[in-house]
Structure 1
Amino acid sequence: MTATHDPVDLVVHADAALIDGAFRPATIAVRAGAIAAIEPLGSPLEGREIVRLAPGEVLIPGLVDTHVHVNEPGRTEWEGFASATRAAAAGGVTTIIDMPLNSIPPTVDPAALARKRVAAAPQAFVDVGFWGGAVPGNLGSLRALHDAGVFGFKCFLSPSGVDEFPHLDPAQLLAALRELAEFDGLLIVHAEDPAVLDAHENDGGTSYARFVDSRPPEAELTAIGRVIDGIRETGGRAHILHLSSAAALPLIAAAKAEGLRLTAETCPHYLTLDAEHIPDGATEFKCCPPIRDEHNRDLLWQGLLDGTLDLVVSDHSPATAELKLGFDGDFGRAWGGISGLQLGLANVWTDAARRGIGLERVLGWMSSGPAGFAGLASKGRIVVGADADLVAFAPDAAFTVEPAALAHKNPVSAYAGAALTGVVRTTWLRGIPVGDEARGRLLERAEDRSTA
């Protein structure tokens, strides 16, 4: 903790601020976009702007969402950098890392990454980093994309749903892990086994239960087992994306206990929704892997509490209303993906509070945890020297989700009509409230290589 009595840009007085993993009264000073001092509440600091949080508001670090599909360029009608980053800020998210698909071209080489940067730079309202992709066609040349600053490489072990981003077969998975191990690159994996999916394929239709049957837990278990075998053989590191099936938790826990470099995430929709309450034909709930039953959901929460799961991130995967809802409720034909970037914090906090889980734990999974995972040392914490990415959050304030009122480009939400608790009042990016000017920066893998 460093004190300063020189004039600063912003002073925030908060009855409760999340500092060192616990809430306590504090006065936060911001200079040149960074936290300059943390002092006892009411300290007489002089600042160009002085903010006193209202009763019932707490000061938290901006969230870091490492799993966001922005889709620009190429499918900007699904979402784009302007709408996605506005939605992020409205939900208390100050940093996102964009997935290499479903943009066209996908981010599988430095030229495609450069196109993403050009698209994002003038319209990012929060900070944006980028994942690269590992596909059959770029194996053997991943180092160039790594050196260009991507945070790691996403792959699918089953068809991705878009032709321009094919999946890796078992031999290619091993080749990718071996190649990345040479420079300690990270592989992040959509882990579903295609043979299991093929064996359980059905005729689709409007039955949600039949859709879940077509993507059983065995698909995740088999694929995750293959990833674990691969990192054991190569000495590489990997991350399991959007874990849906709690049946895989023991497998992940055992790999960690063995000392393998494996991490795993789950998503708000797996923690807050359940198959028992999804109506037939309600394709706004379709995602892959699928939302499973209530007991499975409870076990995922336990996996977070015991440390088997490391992160909670959105897997914001939007599409147009026509693609999500335009097939008469046929789960086999509708696009899969949950549009939840703006609602992640409120969704998880609402359920966490019901379970007696503190907000500080939630923020560990959604802010400091993802920041540490991505190597963003200046993000996700209220600490002297960190970026002043701050959020005034009212944890007891209630609201009802109205899709048309969200900043997402398409007004489709699995949470329509949900009564949630937790409202973002103000989001500051490096000490400046997010407003009508796009001030976000483009981030590279090493924090000190970020570019304005």
Structure 2
Amino acid sequence: MSLAVRARRVVLPDGVHPAAVHTRDGRITAVKPFDDAPSGAVTLADDEVLLPGLVDSHVHVNEPGRTEWEGFASATRAAVAGGVTTVVDMPLNSVPATTTVEALHGKRAAARGQVACDVAFWGGAVPGNLDQLRPLHEAGVVGFKCFLLDSGVPEFPPLDDAGLRAALTELAGVDGLLIAHAEDAEVIAAAPAPAGASYAAFLASRPPAAEESAIAGLVAAVRDTGARAHVVHLADADALPLLRRARADGVAITVETCPHYLTFAAEEIPEGATAFKCCPPIRETWHREALWVALADGDVDLVVSDHSPCTPDLKRLDVGDFGLAWGGIASLQVGLPVVWTGARARGIGLAEVARWMAAAPARLAGLPGKGTIAPGKDADLVAFAPDESWTVGALEHRHPVTPYTGRRVTGVVRRTWLRGQLADGTPRGRLLRRGQS
């Protein structure tokens, strides 16, 4: 099967150009001048841009075990509706967590035949599973997630410093990647407990120092072990100088942030609006703006959703209590328009957005066939209308609770192709292994 798509604006690795993208059997075979296309080529409208399919390397699908929270079918339908052609599933909050090879096989069995986009998998690093890290690595997980404090679910306990260093040492031997939820439990224990409808009180319960302390410990452990690590969902801009110095010194550490940290600000969150609760929390305006600057300067590497849905009752919208509500934001389908809305307001182009949301996550996850429009890559493509505005309403996620509801955003995904086929929600996605191209 062959497909050719041409557009006056195509986001390529070297910038935005008119081009015709030729594909066969699901792979890009050539990128040619706009006029060099067969008669049956799909020609995008003048208001559309052709983007590479996005790669979201931070998605909590929650199946098996908590499928009522999301599930592979609904999550991947939401993904392709939002221009995401590859998701990487987190090892929690499913039951069992992906901390053994047997659990990984269970994840793959649950996903098989359901996925509308391609799916890869993270493994988990928890106390007691050190002997599972190499087998999981060999079985194709893209890397290993750990928590440095309570994860919120009992089946995924945190690593202490000794456990962190043991995992990093084990992974250094196979050039494996450890990704960390970096907040310091002791700092949080010393802060006031969250309770009630006050967002300010919730914010005070997860102070910036918790991120900085945990990241400092992670940097030290990576430096000492020679391993590779990645900081997930950075919210605290005060941690950026620490990360910048570590990287300048050759420490192999990367960092991501998320659309909600780039969009919302603590000062704007209404009392009792528990749809906004996530950990680490959405911080004040200056943190948001500093994260945008860090992205532009290359100090933050990528933007991914941290799509972490739950059933509506767990968000405690009935009482608006930030102490009781589950912390997580559902955003998989809206990440591209949300980030693009913020980027264009700051004079940042689509090429940069595609780098942060497609190329960089693909590189992090070790998926060489994904993330850019270039010969040899999978024919994952998105027709995106960057000037069309819309109001976030009903989405493909299993549950409707998201802080983006009612928000006006700019940029519409009009069509998505997965490996050269129109992605319409049909379960034709593949289950990927690390290094698969």
Q: Smaller-chain TM-score range?
A: over 0.9
Range with greater deviation from structure 2 (393-402 or 319-328): 319-328
8 Å Cα contact 1:327-1:333 kept in structure 2: no
Counterpart selection for 1:385 from 372, 376, 387 = 376
Displacement of 1:141 in angstroms is: 2.9
Displacement of 1:21 in angstroms is: 3.2
CA distance in 1, matches of 2:68, 2:252: 38
Q: Does 1:335 align with 2:335?
A: no
CA distance in 2, matches of 1:358, 1:141: 42
How many residues align? The count is 437
Q: Which residue of 2 aligns with 1:5?
A: none
Q: Does 1:45 align with 2:38?
A: yes
Q: Does 1:103 align with 2:94?
A: yes
Q: 1:369-421: per-residue Cα shift (whole Å, max 9, x none)?
A: 1111112111111111110000000000110011xx20000001111111000
8 Å Cα contact 2:194-2:202 kept in structure 1: no
CA distance in 2, matches of 1:58, 1:251: 37
Q: Does 1:72 align with 2:78?
A: no
- State the SS of the aligned residue for 2:334: helix
Q: Does 1:249 align with 2:240?
A: yes
| Correspondences of 1:161-180 after superposition (within 5 Å) | 161-180=152-171
8 Å Cα contact 1:157-1:189 kept in structure 2: yes
| Correspondences of 1:46-445 after superposition (within 5 Å) | 46-47=39-40, 50-326=41-317, 328-402=319-393, 405-445=394-434
CA distance in 1, matches of 2:389, 2:425: 26
Range with greater deviation from structure 2 (11-20 or 72-81): 11-20
Alpha carbons of structure 1 residues 126 and 232: separation in structure 2 relative to 1, 3 Å = same
Q: Which residue of 1 aligns with 2:16?
A: 23
8 Å Cα contact 1:389-1:429 kept in structure 2: yes
CA distance in 1, matches of 2:228, 2:336: 28
Letter in 2 for 1:423: V
Range with greater deviation from structure 2 (274-283 or 136-145): 136-145
CA distance in 1, matches of 2:337, 2:299: 23
CA distance in 2, matches of 1:182, 1:432: 39
Displacement of 1:314 in angstroms is: 0.3
- State the SS of the aligned residue for 2:245: helix
Structure 1: runs of 5 or more not aligned: 1-7
8 Å Cα contact 1:125-1:434 kept in structure 2: yes
CA distance in 1, matches of 2:188, 2:20: 54
Q: 1:111-158: per-residue Cα shift (whole Å, max 9, x none)?
A: 000000011111010000000000002123311111111011100000
Report percent identity of matched pairs: 59
Displacement of 1:201 in angstroms is: 3.2
Range with greater deviation from structure 2 (433-442 or 117-126): 433-442
Q: Does 1:32 align with 2:32?
A: no
CA distance in 1, matches of 2:13, 2:239: 31
Alpha carbons of structure 1 residues 259 and 52: separation in structure 2 relative to 1, 3 Å = same
8 Å Cα contact 1:12-1:52 kept in structure 2: yes
Letter in 2 for 1:419: R
Structure 2: runs of 5 or more not aligned: none
CA distance in 2, matches of 1:427, 1:247: 38
Q: TM-score, normalised by structure 2?
A: 0.98
CA distance in 2, matches of 1:436, 1:413: 21
CA distance in 1, matches of 2:31, 2:150: 49
CA distance in 1, matches of 2:212, 2:35: 53
- State the SS of the aligned residue for 1:54: coil
Alpha carbons of structure 1 residues 339 and 422: separation in structure 2 relative to 1, 3 Å = same
CA distance in 2, matches of 1:252, 1:75: 35
Displacement of 1:77 in angstroms is: 0.6
8 Å Cα contact 2:263-2:338 kept in structure 1: yes
Letter in 1 for 2:96: P
Letter in 1 for 2:373: I
Range with greater deviation from structure 2 (8-17 or 118-127): 8-17
Once superposed, what is the RMSD of the aligned Cα atoms? 1.0
- State the SS of the aligned residue for 1:220: helix
Q: 1:326-377: per-residue Cα shift (whole Å, max 9, x none)?
A: 4501101000001000010100000110011111111110011111111211
8 Å Cα contact 1:327-1:334 kept in structure 2: no
Q: 1:148-205: per-residue Cα shift (whole Å, max 9, x none)?
A: 1101110000000000100011111111111111211111000000000100032511
Letter in 2 for 1:35: I
